[in-house]
Chains A and B, each alone.
Chain A
Amino acid sequence: MAKSAAGKVNGNVVSQNSKINKNNLRHVIVKDFKKNKMIYLLAVPVLAYYIIFHYGPMYGVIIAFKNFTPARGILGSPWVGFRWFQEFFSSYYFGRLLRNTLLINIYSLIFSFPAPIFLALLLNELRNQKFKKVVQTISYLPHFISLVVICGMIVNFTARDGILNDIIAFFGGERTTMLLRPELFRTIYVASGIWQGVGWGSIIYLAALAGIDIELYQAAVIDGANRWHQVWHVTLPGILPTIVILLIMRIGSLMSVGYEKIILLYNSSIYETADVISTFVYRKGLLEANYSYSSAVGLFNSVINFLLLIIANWISRKVNETSLW
């Protein structure tokens, strides 16, 4: 919020400047540069980093419209227009990748997104503060375990002789290697994601909960509200802005998936449900060295992501008067 206010102030300064004639403008720029020489010098490495490592790849993405070969380089490779995009859209993979990417995200939205909200609400209702601290500390823990270790545990636990199968067998079920069954992949992905992320995700809601004015609760009690009423009419409205902002960001990333985890977990027998756009880009681009084709697929994904974020932000500005920028 402080940021947007500062932005507005500066915006006014700039728009005022644009009214002043050109000579004056040059004067302003020179004066600003002289006064802040050191600051601009400090900015050089930072801007250089962004230009090379962020705008460099954005320039490099033009190979999506070329037939790139490393020997010819980016500039020397011939243009092919939208050939790679057409090839991708008409390929067998397009529908499957789109479906898998969207479904994994929709499942996460339905199950992983509300989980930390529930946890925060339950934690908030705990009366014993010491117990609350213990639960919090333990629930944050999995966030710090590396993805490789988490996936290693998933692979071991879901294996034929793993503990999950032991439990299933105990209840009379049949032992299977769960990661070879396409129909189970999304469940495993989402459930393990909740296991790792629910505690950490609740922090931000707990912060919002701590910011609710106690007088609101006191007023509610005087009006005869029981605890359920308080949760429904005071607590939830109090954290609603936070929920909306996070929901917008989540919807804005509806087409991006934690592909590192999928690369660790999947195998060719479950591509049918597990293969998403980014894992496909990784295989085509880095394992098969189809640089142009995979860049085109990646670019398609980034553009959709970008548009989704802009739309989500626009909706939020209309509905909620909260905006990411």
Chain B
Amino acid sequence: MAIKRSIGEKIFDAFNILAMIFLIIVTLYPLLYVIFASVSTPSRLIKHEGILLAPLGFQLGAYKLVFRNPMITKGYLNTLFVVTVGTTVNIIMTSLGAYVLSRKGLYWKNLMMFIIVFTMFFGGGMIPTYLLVRSLKLTDTLWALIVPGAISTYNMIIMRTSFMSIPDSLEESARIDGAKDLTILFKIVIPLSLPVIAVMILFYGVGHWNAWFSALIYLRKRELYPLQLILREVLISSDTTQMLAGLAGMDLEPIAETVKYATIVIATLPILCIYPFLQKYFVKGVMIGALKG
């Protein structure tokens, strides 16, 4: 970098930095707007036009209304169940599959590999899957959100690549010491693959947290709804009647507006808080996936 920069390069660098600052603003501003709006005084927010650079007044009434709503707390609990149990199932099944496919010299390995990889390119589709889940009596249980997606083939292939990168010598010396396949899995492969398993926990966990569509098609009972499905009612169908129940005699429309924004914050905050700490693991996951391609 000892070479002097030409004027053209300096202009480019300046433009590049401006472009990046623009990107930061465009990415962050909508999120800031949501936070500002959620704590603004409802009557002032509804009259306001244009960009918000700071909250209009300050109140936490909208948050109180959201937390008072039993559907939100119920939704949170349902989501927590699906995230913890679902991710556990995912990790067990994915590591089993990855371990089997990472073994060398299995006679049926190519056939198993084909059976599994083929499903990445072709499937029965939405309706036959729905009918299958219904005929297994999984509908209207939270298991419908867990079992049909127990393995993501893509994640399993990533994990297999990582398992295969463990040096053979380790395994061979363990075999000489009399270790069997299960011992090798639990004493060698898994302890050496903790980073990739952590990445998988994050991928699956965030996936469960954000999922809503399978809940929409498999669940009829409202008390089973995960958080995202409640959010959909509040944010998209604009159904805030439940939250505003008992506020008779007040001008509800402005309050409904702040309640929506408060709901977004409450549903997104957990992910955004842990995100900066976990970011490098996520990125690592993408990298492992890229190496395979």
Contact B161 A148 (CB under 8 A): no
Q: A39-B100, A42-B96 are in contact. Are A299 and B125 (CB under 8 A)?
A: yes
Please state if A298 and B228 are interface contacts (CB–CB under 8 Å). Answer: no
Q: Pick the residue among B8, B112, B129, B267 that contacts A43 (CB under 8 A).
A: B112
Q: A309 an interface residue at 8 Å Cβ cutoff?
A: yes
Given contacts A138-B24, A221-B3, contact A32 B107 (CB under 8 A): yes
Interface on chain B toward A: helix, strand, loop, or mixed SS? helix
Assuming the contacts A39-B100, A148-B212, A199-B27, asked whether A226 and B181 have C-beta atoms less than 8 A apart, the reply is: no
Q: Is A163 touching B236 in the complex (CB atoms < 8 A)? A: no
Q: How far is the CA of A21 from the CA of B9 in the complex (A)?
A: 71
List residues of chain A with CB within 8 A of the CB of B23: 119, 135, 138-139, 198
Q: Is B28 an interface residue (CB 8 A)?
A: yes
The stretch of B54-62, B63-71, B281-289 that contacts the partner chain: B281-289
Contacts of B28 in A (CB 8 A): 138, 141
Q: Tell whether A58 is near chain B: CB-to-CB under 8 Å.
A: yes
Query: Are A166 and B49 closer than 8 Å at their CB atoms?
Result: yes
A-contact bits for B185-206, CB 8 A (1 contact / 0 none): 1000000000000000000001
Residue of A38, A46, A55, A295 with most chain B CB atoms under a 10 A cut-off: A46
Q: Which residue of A lies closest to B283 (CB)?
A: A203
**Cross-chain contact A146 with B210 (CB below 8 angstroms):** yes
Is A111 in contact with chain B by the CB < 8 A criterion? no
Question: Chain A residues near B73 (CB, 8 Å)?
Answer: none
Contact A138 B27 (CB under 8 A): yes
Is the CB–CB distance between B19 and A122 below 8 Å? yes
The smallest C-beta distance from A295 to any residue of chain B, in angstroms, reads 5
The count of chain B contact residues (Cβ–Cβ below 8 Å) is: 96
Do B50 and A57 have beta carbons less than 8 Å apart?
no
| A278 in contact (CB, < 8 A) | yes
What per-residue 1/0 map shows which CB atoms of B102-137 lie under 8 Å from chain A? 010111111011011101011111111111100000
The segment out of A87-95, A97-105, A150-158, A180-188 that lies at the interface is A150-158
In the complex, B30 has a CB within 8 A of chain A: yes
Pick from A42, A54, A195, A291: contact of B27, CB below 8 A. A195
Query: When the two chains form their complex, are residues B119 and A61 in contact, meaning their CB atoms are under 8 A apart?
Result: no
Contact string, A262-305, partner B, CB cutoff 8 A, digits 1/0? 01100000000000001001100110000100110011011001
Closest Cβ of chain A to B279, distance in Å, is 6
A residues less than 8 Å from B272 (CB atoms): 141, 144-145
Q: In angstroms, how far is the closest chain A Cβ from the Cβ of B52? A: 8
Of B10-18, B80-88, B166-174, B242-250, which binds chain A?
Answer: B10-18
Which residues of A (225-283) have their CB < 8 Å from a CB of B?
A: 226-227, 242, 245, 260, 263-264, 278, 281-282
Question: Shortest beta-carbon distance, A145 to chain B, in Å?
Answer: 6
B224 part of interface (Cβ distance < 8 Å): no
B9 in contact with A226 (CB, 8 Å): yes
Q: Report A173-192 CB contacts with B as 1/0, cut-off 8 Å.
A: 00000000000000000000
CA distance A315 to B82 in the complex (A): 42
Most chain A beta carbons < 10 A, residue from B128, B236, B292: B128
Residue ranges of A at the interface with B (Cβ–Cβ < 8 Å): 2-3, 6-7, 10-11, 13-14, 28-29, 32-33, 36, 38-40, 42-43, 45-47, 49-61, 63, 70, 74, 119, 122-123, 125-127, 131, 134-135, 137-142, 144-149, 151-153, 155-157, 161, 163, 166-167, 169-170, 195, 198-200, 203-204, 207-208, 221, 226-227, 242, 245, 260, 263-264, 278, 281-282, 285-286, 291, 294-295, 298-299, 301-302, 305-306, 309, 324-325
- Name 17 interchain pairs, CB-CB below 8 A, sorted by A: A32-B105, A42-B100, A51-B115, A57-B124, A60-B124, A138-B27, A141-B27, A144-B210, A148-B232, A151-B235, A152-B231, A156-B235, A157-B30, A166-B51, A260-B213, A285-B127, A286-B126
